[in-house]
């Protein structure tokens, strides 16, 4: 449904602002990509998220330097099967065990997140939030009593799974190619990160993140299919 201001008629053909006339803003003939603003917003959100992790790690390093205690912030991660450890689900991706840990996750988040951001804000926010929460819940359920789980690698695994699964669901060559390349690039590390034999690695968080990425890709695919069906478009 289109809304128009009262007292104004529909612009005449060829006048600035008239819909569907080549050369006017918002018309198909301008060559402008209508998805570009959404991509820009998604990229800004992604970079702000990564920047927030760096600010928190900088604060953590300052606290470590001042107190000598490395657990002041990191102790607020996910503590499995502890009631007060549930709150750590909100903080887990924001906390890291040092600069190398943060740098590795930041690079992966920026590369994979930028690929997802090309589809707009909704896919990026959806896969980030769902992977964040599912990773935290799985860590809390099966992470092992007496441990603390921190780091954004659960979201990284969510991004990996989302990009790969999205390629299969979309049935578009470019999406599938990107998914395969990402799978090959991160494949060995991803499989190793999901192994219970990986010492000192939260494979539970990685597993939960991957599940979240799959659920995000499947959910967006269902929503898109339902919308196409409602509009009478071919699936």
Tens digits of pLDDT across the chain (235 residues): 444 444 444 344 444 444 443 444 444 445 556 566 689 999 999 999 999 999 999 999 999 999 988 888 999 999 999 998 899 999 999 999 999 999 999 999 999 999 999 999 999 999 999 999 999 999 999 998 999 999 999 999 999 999 888 888 877 777 777 777 776 777 666 666 666 766 677 889 999 999 999 999 988 866 665 545 444 554 5
Q: Are 106 and 54 in contact (CB under 8 A)?
A: yes
Alpha carbons within 13 A on the beta-carbon side of 198: 16
- State residue 12's pLDDT score: 41
Q: Are 206 and 200 contacting, i.e. CB atoms less than 8 angstroms apart?
A: no
Six-digit token string for 175: 């999406």
Write the CATH number of the domain with boundaries 35-230. 1.20.1540.10
Between CA 173 and CA 159 the distance in angstroms is 19
Tell me the domain boundaries of the chain: 35-230
């Amino acid at each position: 449904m289109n809304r128009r201001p009262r007292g104004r008629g529909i612009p005449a053909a060829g006048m600035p602002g008239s819909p569907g006339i080549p050369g006017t803003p918002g018309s198909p003939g301008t060559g402008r990509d209508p998805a570009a603003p959404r991509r820009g917003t998604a990229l800004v959100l992604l970079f702000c998220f990564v920047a927030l992790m760096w600010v928190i790690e900088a604060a953590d390093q300052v606290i470590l330097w001042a107190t000598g205690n490395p657990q002041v912030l990191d102790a607020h991660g996910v503590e499995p099967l502890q009631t007060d450890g549930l709150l750590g689900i909100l903080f887990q991706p924001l906390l890291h065990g040092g600069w190398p840990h943060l740098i590795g996750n930041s690079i992966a988040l920026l590369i994979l997140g930028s690929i997802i951001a090309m589809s707009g804000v909704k896919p990026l926010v959806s896969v980030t939030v769902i992977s964040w929460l599912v990773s935290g819940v799985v860590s809390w359920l099966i992470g092992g009593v007496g441990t603390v789980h921190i780091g954004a690698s659960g979201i990284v695994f969510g991004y990996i799974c989302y990009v790969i699964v999205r390629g299969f669901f979309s049935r578009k060559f470019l999406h599938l190619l990107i998914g395969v390349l990402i799978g090959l690039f991160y494949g060995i590390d991803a499989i190793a990160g999901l192994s219970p034999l990986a010492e000192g690695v939260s494979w539970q968080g990685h597993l939960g993140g991957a599940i979240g990425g799959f659920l995000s890709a499947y959910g967006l695919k269902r929503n898109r299919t339902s919308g196409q069906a409602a509009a009478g478009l071919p699936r």
